[in-house]
Structure 1
């Protein structure tokens, strides 16, 4: 009899304890002590995601390598995920640079870095952000309130002004694994240069070393048009090539860009030619 009474007491206590556990999914009375859960489950997986490392690569195993530069235009429908207000790529990068989580490298050409994309010069967060903003003249006043001159200060950065990203990557055939794959080296937001009332070609604002950025991008979710529960990260987008792009340059002895020797629609045809050559190289490796 005592055992039955003890069992009933323990059961009643467990029911009471369970009833006191906060359950925001079923509560009808707001819980003021904590913020309500925005949904019916916590999205934790992507926050603790880790980078899947590349397979190790030896120089002796590289039978073929080709470097290409390509651009992602965010105005294309498939690329609009990069410009989503809830998960904008440029905002993720600039916030990480400002917090010291990511390193920005100068895109300015030098004697030792003729293209400005070899990650040779580190920028401070202030210098990196300064590449975006147009300069404006701000009046300078003395203690009496009289204007004594003007000074040049950077204007406010508008993230919507970034509509393109440039990617630098190597296409490598590893004979040890019999795999032909691209490996992204760097990514750069593109800005339109304006000076003396004239607009010039878009140029990289700065470069981000992609292997370093992967550890950040793997924890940043991408807004999916069809399904909110995909758990897709920006690292997945780049590694699985879920974007549209066009080639603007391939490695060549003259170091020419496609626009240096092709104009108009011919630039697009030349971009497709380079892309098809890479595909044909892979197809020609196998016998059917």
Structure 2
């Protein structure tokens, strides 16, 4: 009797497994008549959607033997960061969608009295102002008649596109916990960077003093444009000597730096990132979430600032772009050297 009962249990278990497999596999030969759509693939990927955030290890203030705050920028145009800009799972789309649903809080990056740097998560940015940081959430549409005259106009909602966001700024602390003997980074916040669109900057360039304004039919900034014919005076010896001297009347082309659109508190964002899968170029079954990518440091970035008494950024004391990258690598090496110097081999 016991053998018969065990056999029945085994048969029911096998039939349940077969039915479950049939539900997952897309092997039906007849039209599916069901309320839910068929499975897109060989099974339902539910591991990412059901994940929970693994909390950080607790750190006591008395156990922190070393702490250093750094700001780094993550460029999505680099090959290692291409997954962050994938249309299937774009990072900026995930952040904006979570803010609009109320799952994340956006913080205003504007410097104020209580937040001089604008990145201390002191001032909450209203949800209706989030889209305006990317160039506005509506656009003016004008209607014309057959005489090309404006007869009416109205505003239409502009659909958000994260293709223009190519950089993120990360604020993090490097901490050495002497209780656990661990030197690790803790990301504090993430901010998408946008370049302000200054109206009239491209159309009205600032020319050197004494230079004639561009006339119709000529563009001094286009080497392939047809330039108007002007009388050229023969240079004298005095003019040749003056041409060798540096002058302040050089063409001024202002450089517009990308600024944070808003800040997101990373410990809060982890509960959103843990359920968002990162697209992998080589394998679709990696199962990595955005939380895994940030915690495991699977991205490429460069440091733009470290904590210092003068509160200076790297570009404040180094003008050359290549030298800034060298300074960024020097700061990275300083952090790694601190950890290596703690141990003796």
TM-score by length of structure 1 reads: 0.86
> After alignment, is 190-199 or 146-155 more displaced?
146-155
1:230 matched to 2:268? The reply is no
**SS of alignment partner, residue 94 of structure 1:** helix
Distance apart, 1:197 and its partner CA: 2.6
**Which residue matches 2:229?**
none
**Which residue matches 1:31?**
32
**Which residue matches 1:73?**
75
**Which residue matches 1:52?**
54
**SS of alignment partner, residue 334 of structure 2:** helix
1:221 matched to 2:277? The reply is yes
1:212 matched to 2:277? The reply is no
What per-residue deviation string (whole Å, max 9, x for no partner) do you get for residues 223-252 of structure 1? 011110111000000000000000000000
Preserved CA contact (<8 Å) 1:248 1:271: yes
1:27, 1:148 → 2: CA distance?
Answer: 57
1:161 matched to 2:164? The reply is yes
Q: Which runs of 5+ in 1 are unaligned?
A: none
Structure of greater Rg: 2
Distance apart, 1:164 and its partner CA: 0.2
TM-score by length of structure 2 reads: 0.72
**SS of alignment partner, residue 49 of structure 2:** helix
Distance apart, 1:80 and its partner CA: 0.6
1:91 matched to 2:148? The reply is no
2:153, 2:306 → 1: CA distance?
Answer: 45
Distance apart, 1:134 and its partner CA: 4.9
User: How many residue pairs align between the two structures?
Assistant: 273
2:318, 2:63 → 1: CA distance?
Answer: 35
Distance 1:103 1:137, change over 3 A: closer
Poorly superposed stretches of 4+, deviation over 4 Å: 21-24, 134-137, 146-156
What per-residue deviation string (whole Å, max 9, x for no partner) do you get for residues 120-142 of structure 1? 1111221112111258874899x
Preserved CA contact (<8 Å) 1:172 1:180: yes
Distance apart, 1:27 and its partner CA: 1.2
1:287 matched to 2:344? The reply is yes
2:342, 2:334 → 1: CA distance?
Answer: 13
Distance apart, 1:158 and its partner CA: 2.7
Preserved CA contact (<8 Å) 2:24 2:44: no
**SS of alignment partner, residue 197 of structure 2:** strand
> After alignment, is 32-41 or 231-240 more displaced?
32-41
Preserved CA contact (<8 Å) 2:131 2:137: no
**Which residue matches 1:112?**
114
Preserved CA contact (<8 Å) 1:191 1:205: yes
Distance apart, 1:157 and its partner CA: 3.5
Q: Which runs of 5+ in 2 are unaligned?
A: 144-148, 202-254
**Which residue matches 1:191?**
194
**Which residue matches 1:267?**
324
Identify, as 1 or 2, the structure richer in strand. Answer: 1
